[in-house]
A and B are shown apart, each in its own frame.
Chain A
């Protein structure tokens, strides 16, 4: 009897050792050792893990001492501050880059329930506009003390009010010449859009909406993560409409333009990816653009989705349909880059200095950041390995 009992105790002890908790570094995540050039997060399971990256040469970055956030945590940078949006938790967290790394500043800003914040435009170091697509509002935020100064109600611009829809789903704001352009998704239900490209124009002096402009050529304007609007050297705003991410054959994707000095779409400009024949990709066809960065002179680098590279039925884990490419929005040309495609569940991008691009991808080489010199057109492969699928990466401006 005793032998049996002792054997059992021994077995328990062995198992206890085996059951030791995951080997995390138990130190506090802040401060990190040195000033970082990038901030990024990776997705693992139902969470994102946020951490700074010192520079492009670090080789690898793990999740030890990272900040845990919910799965779809987006970010925006304002000087040395950056803000993390937890759309699933209705919170905005403020962080600061210091000489030692990154640190959280104060408590999170609590937004109205189901705001689903996804994006914010920082006007200066104290004022920002956060789009709240869950409740059809734009919040004017004092980013110094992280308070909501005003909520701009856009419900009167919602399509489908006759069916009880009071939300035009504001996605991403961008400001120019005292006007805030808030791009709308105008959904009937989640990812089921009303046709058309719609934008509310807000006067930033009074923070009141002036009008909604609409265009029938595009559908679903400027939603994360497909790519934010940008302003080129001429002062023109370019914004991309996803057209329903390929689910709606009758809706077109495409870039639209609001010329400098105007508050309406340029009727002479529309550039659809779906309509273009693209060399060296399967079936010469892509159906929408994913994340991208603007390099200047009408050139952007980003991902296009190549439906011909998907299995039948689709294998969303293994299919690599996100192809890096170069797009010229002036000439309306698309060129496939000689870089491996990524899976649909990982594909972020950032500029790294004046010459380089970092693609956050999952390829046969693994998960991480892949370097491309757009000046020399030299692809250097994976330069930073990550512990999870890259979700967002931003470069701090020096």
Chain B
């Protein structure tokens, strides 16, 4: 039954909320009709707007740390303006806390959306010496599998979706390089505003493909002058630094920014190979040192922003990136194989609110990466771990048994257009379109000699367009939220089959141009999600999505020699079903705040792409697997008091192969049918405690002592048929339970902070991958300095 008020004519009420003390906008303040739950939250500029019944309304405005104000306003016209100036309470919140609460309001809004999403507040990790991977791997539903130390290859697993099946975005833009040379661990933890981990529906504004899991890293937008640097040292000659300056010229509305990043590590840690391979003799295999695992990367980023032109923001950014990565082997003492690369990334952003019509927000981003990668593997001998054995002749150290001296070029153009239109306070539409063009020009003098033509003369080209249209509905007070997303995936690729050798009968040689094929396909996907607050602070979520991951260039094009091109490769597809429960209560069970989230999930995947032997001579990427994952994850965060905080999260999942028959004629049920899919952790949990305090050793200073623990249950490298102890080292990745301890202290009014951290205190042998041990106990020391002209920005540490 409709209430009487709902039948009344509606008019628009809008305005701005500021702090009169410094005239700063208050973002995240609540503005609502008194006595009802109908209201909105102010945007990042302090503005609000919503529909109210025509006539007199009592409007209340509240914000953490400020006195609540209520005003009666007569809304007789179609549009009424009502501004608020909130006075600070006696216990003054610091400006930093004000800014932080604004970010927390955004986080709350994301968490309450219908998506199954976990959000990590950047403030809680700022200043810590952990890498981004370590932060993510302690999150429910996620596991990061590394192959070694800093710069090593990494696979991100979200609810059993791993690798390319998980979209990784920075500020909504897909992060992908052809050789994976840039990984998320390169992003300094201190520039992160928040990390959003989507475990089912991925918002339409993230234009990439994927099977339902996505990680979006939002970096801090600092709108003032700043000087910041961090220096971090740890074992194995590891050093990381991040330096940034930004200058804002208010009058012309121009901001100039410059950032420099540098990381390096020898990664020369010791390994006891006999721990996971008892066939190896103790001497020398119980203590060997990684000799070929050096890693370095450097990046320089220049930014110019214009914020007083017709567009609210016009931003040019140029990033130059260079890295070098040595390739350590486990079977032998590798000494020379390495990759190096340079990326020049040009970015152009346009942002405008109320674009052409009121309520329409416009964002356009154009990215033009110029990527050059090199693989150098020209060693003529390889060395055994046993120093008494002579070197063996070999064509390089890599597994392809060929010398490599590549000069590969990838030229890309990406454009993302995002239009968000707020129809009313209840309805919002988002249209996102991402176009991608990729041209791959491989060049290898050894390979060229084999195939009798220059591969770069026949570049394979891929064009993709992924469009998403979303409609969001919010009931009064946002108790009920609904999101429907329709996605369109289009791929148009030209693939040269450089592995196919045709005979030219005239001269008994090879045809100069390899055959090629054009692939044009279009697919539709959609998502539907519902979120309902059925009791104050307790919310239920339900969502379903149908997703695609398009084959990438490597999978389609092959490598021209050992991997065949696969012109008929289909995209991977998935169906995700999520149900969730969210609790966020203050002053419950005498605790300051309790946050609890539990998710149940069911994901079915088809046409999963895997590299497999095509015949006796070559590999090919093929659509081979089907699987179903079902499980739960739960996440409990408790602020016991103002200073004590603890968390526990656990993930239990059951990823099974569901392809019943190996072949189309269904001759026999596959031996893998209904077996647990190897190499994916299926049970893991994390927990930790933290004592944090302000003004402990000085006014305005922050202190933190923290303890983190992670447990991963053993899982199988291979399809498991045999559980005998005698051979378990051939298939088992053993369980591990690691502990980290850290201390953080700020100085100079939180401009400077020191962090000392011990990782893997008990020096456990940790493997995320079969026979690839990670570094043992490590000590890290980090110094961070942050100076912002605007005091509302947080300093070197945050809570």
Of residues 141 through 161 on chain A, the ones whose CB sits less than 8 Å from some CB of chain B are: 155
Per a CB cutoff under 8 Å, which of B632, B663, B720 touches A24? B720
A18 to chain B, nearest CB (A): 6
A311 to chain B, nearest CB (A): 9
* Structural contact, A134 and B731, CB atoms closer than 8 A: no
A345 at the interface (CB under 8 A from B): yes
Per a CB cutoff under 8 Å, which of B279, B332, B664, B675 touches A113? B332
Interface-forming stretch among B433-441, B483-491, B611-619? B611-619
* Structural contact, B401 and A345, CB atoms closer than 8 A: no
Which chain A residue has the least Cβ–Cβ distance from B400? A190
Per a CB cutoff under 8 Å, which of B331, B665, B718 touches A114? B331
B378, B393, B561, B566 — most chain A CB neighbours (10 Å): B393
Interface-forming stretch among A25-33, A170-178, A269-277, A373-381? A25-33
Docked Cα-Cα span, A99 to B278, in Å, equals: 27
B751 at the interface (CB under 8 A from A): no
Task: Please judge, given known A-B contacts A28-B726, A69-B730, whether A21 and B676 are in contact too, CB under 8 Å.
Answer: yes
B523 at the interface (CB under 8 A from A): no
Which chain A residue has the least Cβ–Cβ distance from B683? A19
B313-348 CB mask vs A (1 if < 8 Å, else 0) is 000000000000000010111000000000000000
B253 at the interface (CB under 8 A from A): no
Of residues 628 through 671 on chain B, the ones whose CB sits less than 8 Å from some CB of chain A are: 630-632, 634, 652-654, 662-665, 667-668, 671
Per a CB cutoff under 8 Å, which of A15, A66, A107 touches B631? A15
Interface-forming stretch among A196-204, A208-216, A358-366? A358-366
B599 to chain A, nearest CB (A): 11
Docked Cα-Cα span, A66 to B721, in Å, equals: 7
* Structural contact, A113 and B622, CB atoms closer than 8 A: no
* Structural contact, A250 and B508, CB atoms closer than 8 A: yes
* Structural contact, A191 and B393, CB atoms closer than 8 A: no
Per a CB cutoff under 8 Å, which of A16, A91, A192, A318 touches B663? A318
B394 to chain A, nearest CB (A): 6
* Structural contact, B561 and A190, CB atoms closer than 8 A: yes
Docked Cα-Cα span, A166 to B382, in Å, equals: 13
A81 at the interface (CB under 8 A from B): no
Docked Cα-Cα span, A45 to B657, in Å, equals: 11
Chain A residues with Cβ below 8 Å from B400 are 189-190
Which chain B residue has the least Cβ–Cβ distance from A5? B596
Interface-forming stretch among A241-249, A255-263, A327-335? A241-249
B394, B561, B654 — most chain A CB neighbours (10 Å): B394
* Structural contact, A367 and B380, CB atoms closer than 8 A: no
Number of B residues near A (Cβ < 8 Å) is 81
Chain B residues with Cβ below 8 Å from A364 are 663, 665, 667
Task: Please judge, given known A-B contacts A108-B279, A190-B562, A249-B501, whether A65 and B722 are in contact too, CB under 8 Å.
Answer: yes
A104 to chain B, nearest CB (A): 7
Chain B residues with Cβ below 8 Å from A114 are 331-332, 382, 392, 394
Chain B residues with Cβ below 8 Å from A164 are 378, 380, 395, 403
Task: Please judge, given known A-B contacts A8-B581, A15-B652, A190-B401, whether A67 and B632 are in contact too, CB under 8 Å.
Answer: no
Which chain A residue has the least Cβ–Cβ distance from B600? A11
Which chain A residue has the least Cβ–Cβ distance from B334? A113
A162 to chain B, nearest CB (A): 12
A89 at the interface (CB under 8 A from B): yes
Which chain B residue has the least Cβ–Cβ distance from A316? B614
Docked Cα-Cα span, A156 to B357, in Å, equals: 79
B622 to chain A, nearest CB (A): 7
* Structural contact, B401 and A110, CB atoms closer than 8 A: no
A88-113 CB mask vs B (1 if < 8 Å, else 0) is 01110000000000001001101011
Which chain A residue has the least Cβ–Cβ distance from B568? A313
Number of A residues near B (Cβ < 8 Å) is 86
A318 to chain B, nearest CB (A): 5
Docked Cα-Cα span, A12 to B631, in Å, equals: 9
* Structural contact, A192 and B653, CB atoms closer than 8 A: no
A357 at the interface (CB under 8 A from B): no
* Structural contact, A64 and B331, CB atoms closer than 8 A: no
* Structural contact, B722 and A64, CB atoms closer than 8 A: yes
B723 at the interface (CB under 8 A from A): yes
B662, B722, B730 — most chain A CB neighbours (10 Å): B722
Per a CB cutoff under 8 Å, which of A62, A314, A367 touches B614? A314
Docked Cα-Cα span, A63 to B724, in Å, equals: 12
Chain B residues with Cβ below 8 Å from A107 are 278-279, 281
Per a CB cutoff under 8 Å, which of A68, A316, A363 touches B615? A316
Chain A residues with Cβ below 8 Å from B668 are 365-368, 385
Docked Cα-Cα span, A201 to B731, in Å, equals: 40
A279 at the interface (CB under 8 A from B): no
Chain B residues with Cβ below 8 Å from A115 are 392
A1-43 CB mask vs B (1 if < 8 Å, else 0) is 0001000100110011011011011111110000000000010
Task: Please judge, given known A-B contacts A15-B632, A114-B382, A388-B671, whether A49 and B722 are in contact too, CB under 8 Å.
Answer: yes
B402 at the interface (CB under 8 A from A): yes
Docked Cα-Cα span, A167 to B402, in Å, equals: 11
Chain B residues with Cβ below 8 Å from A62 are 721
* Structural contact, B561 and A189, CB atoms closer than 8 A: yes
Which chain B residue has the least Cβ–Cβ distance from A365? B667
* Structural contact, B721 and A64, CB atoms closer than 8 A: yes
24 residue pairs from A and B, CB less than 8 Å apart = A8-B581, A8-B598, A11-B600, A19-B682, A21-B720, A28-B725, A28-B726, A46-B717, A64-B721, A64-B722, A67-B727, A110-B281, A114-B331, A155-B393, A164-B380, A189-B402, A189-B446, A250-B503, A316-B615, A344-B615, A345-B613, A364-B665, A368-B668, A387-B671
Q: Which 10 A-B pairs have the closest CB atoms?
A: A366-B668, A113-B332, A63-B721, A191-B617, A135-B392, A24-B723, A108-B279, A47-B718, A189-B402, A166-B393
